[in-house]
Structure 1
Amino acid sequence: MGCYQALIRITSGPLRPALALGHSLGGLTLGAAVDRLMPGRAIGSDPAFRLPVLEDGTPMTDLMAQAADRGHAPGAQVADPSFLVSPEFQEELVGKGFEVRVVKGAEHTIHRHLFEDFMAGLDGRL
């Protein structure tokens, strides 16, 4: 799903879903929409969180972490190896309040490459 499709789903879907999931660049879309969407859990799947900094200089990860302060638990499900989320960045995310789960042996598209492991990584997050 591209960012445009994700935006359509976010704007047309229900507010306060139990889970909102954004893969790769969709993680950026989710980060930008998390305050309006108000999910119980917001999870980036091998997210591209490092790429943007908002106009006011706020990193996207900080935006997601701020949402955690308002009851929206942030998480990341990471491929191993991941070209987007290094082990050092995983530690940074944990330090910001993210629950990080690594799917060993998964490629970037965890949900297509190791579907059962992808689903197992969501266990307990609802």
Structure 2
Amino acid sequence: MQLHTTTWGSGDRVALLIHGIMSDHRTWRRFGPALADRGYRVLAVDLRGHGATGPADRYRPDDYADDVVETLPKGADLAVGHSLGGLTLARAVARLAPKRAVYSDPAWHLATAEEGFDPELFVGFKSATAEQIRALNPRWEEADVAVELATLKDWDTRTAHALPEFTGTDLMPAGPEVPSLVTLADPSFLISAERAALLRERGFEVRTVAGAGHTIHRDDFDGFMSALDGWI
């Protein structure tokens, strides 16, 4: 499936950005231009069921991965995936073959229903108000609250209903296909301290952004950029 793509910059280096669930390319409103200022041509997709790409018949991790491989260029200098985008990138990275990969609080472990996971919590958030978004994300800029409202409007809730199919399974890569950094929220509800240690053993560099929430690049943009030092 060809995905809607947004571009920032026209530099000689290429960066690929893959957003998380309930979001789209607009989540990168600061990061995309920041990379462009560093000499990148930045390509950000809207995954199936999100943004301008629109809905699909099926929402499985390999479907998301196949879409980005079909849409994005091979051999980019950098690829970044957040949350569901991190899972997507991990499934696609061998085929995309970027020079470096960054996984931002990746969805490599989803809780089971017994552990409290309920897709209806995601679905219910589609009708969240600006006040609710601010309360859940007190460090966000007002522009990010507006972006969240807009992206939720364009989001297909069936993507959340598909999540239980791959909950409770180990989705962590066996090792990095390319030099890879994992940035984590503090705390991360997706990657525990034990899993972070295992990722280090498997060859990933892991950095935690102190005090940041799950959407690190919106919760603490400066901290996120600092965590990418030497990688971008």
Instruction: Say yes or no: does 1:38 pair with 2:150.
Output: no
Show the counterpart of 2:206: 100
Does structure 1 residue 85 correspond to structure 2 residue 188? Answer: no
Report the CA distance shift for 1:49/1:118 in structure 2 as closer, same or farther (over 3 A): same
Structure showing the higher helix proportion among its residues: 1
**What letter is aligned with 2:179?**
A
Looking at CA atoms only, which structure, 1 or 2, has the larger radius of gyration? 2
Is the Cα–Cα contact under 8 Å of residues 46 and 84 in structure 1 kept in the other structure? yes
2:113 aligned partner: none
Q: Which residue of 2 aligns with 1:13?
A: 72
Q: Report what 2:106 is aligned to.
A: 47
Task: Work out the CA distance in 1 between the residues paired with 2:97 and 2:77.
Answer: 9
CA contact (8 A) 2:69 2:95 kept: no
Structure-2 separation of matches of 1:17 and 1:112: 24
Aligned length: 117
Structure 1, residues 11-66: CA drift from partner, whole Å, max 9, x if none?
Answer: 3222111111110111110011001100111111001112459xxx984411xx15
Structure 2 vs 1, CA of residues 101 and 58 (structure 1 numbering), >3 Å: closer, same or farther? Answer: closer
Give the conservation status (yes or no) of the 8 Å contact 1:32–1:60.
no
Q: Secondary structure at the match of 1:43?
A: strand
- Structure 2 gaps of 5+ residues are 1-18, 22-46, 51-63, 111-165
Q: Structure 2: which amino acid aligns with 1:49?
A: W
- Report the 3-state secondary structure (helix = DSSP H, G, I; strand = E; otherwise coil) of the residue aligned with 2:207: strand
Is contact 1:46–1:78 with CA below 8 Å preserved after alignment?
yes
Counterpart amino acid of 2:88? T
Tell me the TM-score normalized by structure 1.
0.81
TM-score (norm 2): 0.46
TM-align CA RMSD: 2.3
Tell me how far apart the structure 2 counterparts of residues 85 and 104 of structure 1 sit (CA, whole Å): 14
Q: Which amino acid aligns with 2:86?
A: G
CA distance in 2, matches of 1:33, 1:120: 26
Q: Identity of counterpart residues, as a percentage? A: 45
Matched, 1:113 2:219: yes
Contact 2:181/2:204 (<8 A) preserved: yes
Q: Which segments of 5 or more consecutive residues in structure 1 lack a partner in the other structure?
A: none
Letter in 1 for 2:76: P
